[in-house]
């Protein structure tokens, strides 16, 4: 369980933060003075500490390096009533991860701090993974949470991509273990976006060429994050290649055709469809039939021909679209009709 220590001489701030984090299932400790802070840190090993700079008995600035000595991985968020630049710089030099200025809103905490909570727990699990009996499932959960807090769009997207991928795998009658791996790869296919700057991920305008080049790095970053954990090596390969193209013009390795792992080809279709039909900061999602049209147009170039056909049938089977929708699409466009039956 994630442990958070909140240290502030204002009781109301402690109570508000305590209530906020407890609703998320975290274990919370609160203190109003600095005298017992180091004892609690030593005993409970909190993952995150909210630390007031100006405590009545011992300043947060004095306590900060002592906390980091006890556990260097603990993230410390300084709380201050002013935005004195010198103090902020000093705090960061002493090991603070971030700071917040009073008064602050819970929306700000959700937007800017929660990512650091999950990031810290992931680092903690990774450093101790050989000692944990449940590391595989725990790390999978934490990785997904880290990405959700980094990129709000990803939460629903990753789950839908995972489910679409499973539907395709089941139509192919793949083994249960294989399907489980595909589901996990779907959940984590964008994990490399952890390494992409927020300003690019959440940009409301169309990305520039340079920004898109940065986004493309997420396949390599995701591979490198997962490949260091033995249980995730198979996932890392799938995720590395989910933006390859059948014609060899994808990234990062320009693989083509059956050089691309089957699971990656499945993910590519599920990812493409959901990306087209989902709202993004810079555009609204398109209608399902229009997205299907584009999938069909991508057969044999970007996407695997057989898998596109299977996925269209899956969408009809799941009643996402009707067979009449597809008939109308084919009737209105002879080129699409030709590609559909190819």
Enzyme catalytic residues: 193
What is the CA 205 to chain-centroid distance, rounded?
21
- Tell me, rounded to whole angstroms, the distance of Cα 38 from its chain centroid: 33
Q: What is the largest CA-CA distance in the chain?
A: 79
**Tokens representing 40?**
């609690």
- Residues in Cβ contact with 129 at an 8 Å cutoff, skipping those fewer than 6 apart: 135, 139, 229
Distance separating alpha carbons of residues 19 and 73, to the nearest angstrom: 25
Structure tokens at 265: 């080809």
Residue written as token pair 């994808």: 250
Residue 18 in contact with residue 6, Cβ under 8 Å? Answer: yes
Closest CA to 219 of 164, 268, 169: 268
């Amino acid at each position: 369980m994630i442990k958070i220590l909140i240290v502030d001489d204002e009781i109301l701030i402690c109570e508000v933060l305590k209530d906020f984090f407890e609703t998320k299932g975290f274990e919370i400790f609160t203190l109003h003075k600095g005298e017992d802070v180091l004892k609690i840190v030593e005993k409970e090993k909190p993952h995150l500490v909210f630390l007031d700079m100006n405590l009545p008995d011992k300043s947060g600035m004095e306590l900060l390096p002592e906390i980091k000595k006890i556990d260097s991985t603990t993230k410390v968020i300084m709380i201050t009533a002013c935005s004195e630049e010198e103090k902020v710089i000093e705090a960061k030099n002493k090991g603070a991860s971030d700071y917040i200025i009073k008064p602050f809103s819970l929306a700000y905490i959700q937007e800017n701090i929660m990512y650091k909570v999950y990031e810290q727990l992931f680092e903690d699990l990774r450093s101790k993974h050989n000692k944990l009996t449940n590391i595989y499932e725990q790390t999978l959960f934490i990785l997904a949470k880290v990405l959700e807090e980094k990129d709000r769009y990803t939460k629903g997207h990753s789950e839908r991509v995972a489910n679409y991928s499973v539907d395709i795998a089941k139509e192919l009658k793949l083994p249960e273990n294989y399907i489980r791996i595909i589901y996990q790869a779907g959940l984590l296919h964008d994990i490399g976006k952890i390494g992409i700057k927020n300003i690019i991920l959440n940009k409301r305008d169309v990305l520039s060429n340079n920004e898109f080049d940065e986004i493309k790095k997420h396949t390599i970053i995701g591979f490198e994050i997962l490949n260091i954990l033995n249980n995730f090596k198979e996932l890392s390969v799938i995720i590395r290649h989910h933006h390859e193209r059948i014609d060899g013009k994808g990234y990062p390795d320009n693989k083509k055709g059956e050089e691309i792992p089957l699971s990656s080809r499945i993910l590519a279709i599920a990812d493409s469809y959901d990306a087209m039909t989902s709202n993004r900061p810079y555009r609204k999602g398109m209608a399902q039939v229009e997205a299907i049209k584009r999938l069909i147009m991508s057969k044999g170039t970007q996407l695997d021909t057989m898998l596109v056909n299977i996925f269209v049938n899956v969408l009809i089977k799941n009643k996402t679209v009707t067979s009449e929708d597809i008939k109308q699409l084919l009737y209105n466009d002879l080129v699409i009709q030709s590609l559909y039956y190819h």
